[in-house]
Structure 1
Amino acid sequence: MSRTLIITNDFPPRSGGIESFVHELARRRPEGSVVVYCSSPAGSDDAADPHFDLRQPFPVVRDAARVLLPSPRVAARARSIAALEDCDSVLYGAAAPLGLLAGGLRGRVRRQVALTHGHETGWSALPGASTALRRIGDTTDTVTYLGRYTRRLLSRALSPAAAVRMRRLAPGVDVERFRPGAGGGEIRARHGLGGRPVVVCVSRLVPRKGQDTLIRAWPRVLADVPDAALLVVGDGPYGPRLRSAAAGMESVVFTGPVPRAELPAHHDAGDVFAMPCRTRRGGLDVEGLGMVYLEASATGLPVVAGDSGGAPDAVLEGETGRVVDGSRPGPVARALIGLLRDPDRAAQMGARGREWVARTWSWEHTAERLDGLLGAPGRADA
């Protein structure tokens, strides 16, 4: 049987979008066909789930290092694992920087695929980092991209031959977990929201995600929808500043960190989903895609998305939601008011979003794409 070695820094029990993406890909591979080589989790993550590795349906080899780097030591261990486990393909959980190991594994394995996310687009804009990306593209068989935006930027850093070999591979959405009726009533009761119109934002609290713009827009929303509530779900380094900005607004509720198992219920607690992300640091801090928009759509919510990077790829403008300038509170407020004051239109957008996600963004579809990438080369996506 063909076996794949997944080399990654991003793997549970650490939490995050890339971690979930890589884990879902691994567990959807055929039984006995995957080995994972990854860094050690941070102490708090390990303590939260010390038996995570033992529960996986595939071997997990943990390096002692907290971060794997494309060093001679890591390259030697990767070659050793590939040989011992009889792996004939390699999947890099994130192209930058671990895809730089590909040159040393050529000849040992038949195929090498490097996943890209949002941060590689930042690499593509920096002289030294873009040179590294070019090398990764030239030594792997395929560099993946999330959507049109990331493909456009990444292709500029790759050689023409590597750019032609790029293929689209984006995370999927579990539409059985993210669905209308996933437990939103319990979340509303927990936070005393009752039957109020609720705007929900589920995301890590960092500047790029735009929760501060939501808070700045909120007084304008309340002027038109006085009983509305804003439910800010998640935690992160920007949390104290956001709580300070919302001081005195009783209609803004912060949940703090929530278990991953409760994320569908928190989406379901809203009437509208909003995350007005914006690009920062001259294009180095950018949204790669924005899976939370697709998860919200699967839950039947209309979405208000920022226009950063690939976020618009996760929205059908005017059909499943609105794309706005995430740096300005005015456009955000107008989009939210329009949806909250027209619940029939909002419900139609939510239903259209769920249909679109179920048809186009399923994990089964993603797993089939990966099958093709690890097998024979496929045709380029549009």
Structure 2
Amino acid sequence: MNPVFLITHEFYPKRGGIATFTEEIARAAVGLGHEVEVWAQSARETAEKPWPFHIRRLAVKGTHGIACQIGIARQLIAQRRRLRYATVYLPEPGPMLAMMFLQYFKTFRPRRLVLTFHGSEILRFSNNHILRAHTRRLIRNATRISTLTHYTQNLLCERFPEAAAKTFITPGALRSDFAVVSSTAPSAPKNRLVILTVGRLHPRKGQLITLEALQALAPRFRSQIEYWIVGTGPGSGKSSYENSLRTAASQAGFPVRFFGDLPDDELDQVYDRADVFAMTSIDYRHSVEGFGLVYLEAAAHGLPIVAHSVGGVAEAVIDNVTGLLVPPRHPAQLSAAFEKLISDSSLRTRLGAAGHDWARRNRWEHSARLLFNPSPEASASPF
């Protein structure tokens, strides 16, 4: 098998869906027998794990800015002889931007180029006429392309028809260490039901929308709940969105707790103490929710889910089976969904039990095989 070079600027210890996706695909590729080298953003040595693959930390901070693009491009140029006969996998937009300008020189093009699109970058690339042309060329040079959902696949092939013949679904799955997750609820009695959101503090993730929907509940329902928020905003300081969220929380009329970022073991404990998971994502400017691995994590803990029916969310949350989906910008319907779950414990149990099984249906090994292993299944037109 040819070696696989996975190039990303969103990798551990950075948290989020793409960071989880890249780590799990790398692990799965090793399990299939590939020699894998991950290029990732800089990090402290103390942050490293005993990886089953080689990791090369680049002198880049991990943004989409020009400095990071140049840093990645320099490494691609310096290592071109190693990459020429290998598979180069670009699982997110940062390294794609770096490769866009090198692809015009044959010496910098790898033997096999594999891409994964998540959603928002499709809108960004297609709405800029310069990036649109470079993206089309990148897609033509790609051996194989994947998306996590049919929604994202449709969006990609609508904006870039060149991708249709080589695009496959590589659905998200649970982290590989989720095998120990228990589906049983905590036995200790609680005075209030816990509504939990886990996600970056950003308008697209909808924490403020969730908070406002909970505030709109009748007093008898508000007296039964508290709202927990896990995650931080961009940068080291508080964003204007986080400030607005904290101001609204101080006037909520029920307890609201901010946990910041949590390591996986502590996050698992928070999931197990919660009763309902809510992430009411919205389309925000050129940013969309392509899937949302966090919905699978919540479902794996047996939590019923409240979400907006936007983007690829309906492929992560099954309406009236694992959770309740509400059209965006319908606050009364959103409040009604929360009211329904707060007042009906049997419904919470039914949705949570279904989600616990649903979250385990996909395997990273299948996605890695589609990405890297030539096979009749992966050679046929998928779209």
Q: Shorter chain as normaliser: what TM range?
A: 0.7 to 0.9
Write out aligned runs for 1:207-356 (5 A).
207-225=203-221, 226-236=223-233, 237=239, 238-248=241-251, 249-281=253-285, 284-356=286-358
- SS at 1:55 equivalent: coil
Residue in structure 1 matched with residue 29 of structure 2 by the alignment: 29
**Count of matched residue pairs:** 361
2:83 is matched with which residue?
Answer: 82
Per-residue deviation at 1:239?
2.4
Aligned-pair identity in percent equals 30
Conserved? CA contact 1:213–1:326, under 8 Å: no
- Give the CA deviation at 1:22: 0.5
The runs of 5 or more residues in structure 1 that have no matched partner are none
* 1:1-382 aligned within 5 A: 1-30=1-30, 33-41=35-43, 46=44, 50-53=45-48, 55-67=50-62, 68-69=68-69, 73-82=74-83, 88-95=86-93, 96-100=96-100, 101-102=102-103, 104=105, 109-128=110-129, 129-160=131-162, 162-174=163-175, 175-181=178-184, 194-225=190-221, 226-236=223-233, 237=239, 238-248=241-251, 249-281=253-285, 284-359=286-361, 361-372=362-373, 377-381=378-382
CA distance in 2, matches of 1:40, 1:105: 29
Per-residue deviation, 1:159: 3.9
Aligned mates of 1:99, 1:141 — CA distance in 2:
14
Say whether the 8 Å CA contact 1:308–1:326 is kept in structure 2. yes
RMSD between aligned residues? 2.8
Partner of 1:114: helix, strand, or coil? strand
Residue 59 of structure 1 and its aligned partner are, at CA, apart by 1.9
Structure 1 residues 357 and 76, CA, compared in 2 at 3 Å: closer, same or farther? same
What is the CA distance between 1:345 and its match in structure 2? Answer: 1.5
TM-score normalised over the length of structure 1: 0.84
Q: Distance in 2 between matches of 1:55 and 1:345?
A: 42
**Alpha-carbon distance, 1:348 to partner:** 0.9
In structure 1, the residue matched to 2:236 is: none
Alpha-carbon distance in 2 for matches of 1:316, 1:380: 27
1:340 Cα deviation from its structure 2 partner: 1.6
Q: Is the 1:138–1:159 contact (alpha carbons within 8 Å) kept by the matching residues of 2? A: no
| Greater mean alpha carbon deviation, residues 124-133 or residues 6-15 | 124-133
Tell whether the 8 Å contact from 1:201 to 1:233 is kept in structure 2 after alignment.
Answer: yes
- Offset, 1:375: 9.7
Identify the residue that residue 65 of structure 2 maps to in structure 1: none
- Deviation digits for residues 76-122 of structure 1 (CA, Å, limit 9, x no counterpart): 12414436xxx621111214424525555679643221111132232
Per-residue CA deviation, residues 28-55 of structure 1 (Å, 9 max, x unaligned), is 22266101223324xxxx3xxx234473
User: 1:179 offset after TM fit, Å?
Assistant: 3.9
How far apart in 2 are the matches of 1:342 and 1:381?
Answer: 42
* TM-score between both structures, scaled by the size of structure 2: 0.84
- In 2, Cα distance between the equivalents of 1:299 and 1:53? 27
Provide, for residues 338-357 of structure 1, a one-character-per-residue CA deviation record: whole Å limited to 9, x for no partner. 11211111211111112122
Amino acid at match of 2:121: E
How many Å separate the matches in 2 of 1:69 and 1:177? 39
Kept in 1: contact 2:225–2:254 (CA 8 A): no
- CA–CA separation in structure 2 for the residues paired with 1:227 and 1:324: 22
Measured after TM superposition, the shift of residue 289 of structure 1 is 0.8
1:320, 1:352 within 8 Å by CA — same for their partners in 2? yes
Q: 1:318 to 1:32 in 2, by over 3 A?
A: closer
Cα distance in structure 1, aligned partners of 2:266 and 2:207: 20
Instruction: Tell me, yes or no, if the aligned pair for 2:42 and 2:60 is still in contact at 8 Å.
Output: yes
Q: Given the superposition, is the C-alpha separation of residues 272 and 6 from structure 1 closer, same or farther in structure 2, using an over 3 Å criterion?
A: same
**Contact 1:224-1:337 within 8 A present in 2 as well:** no
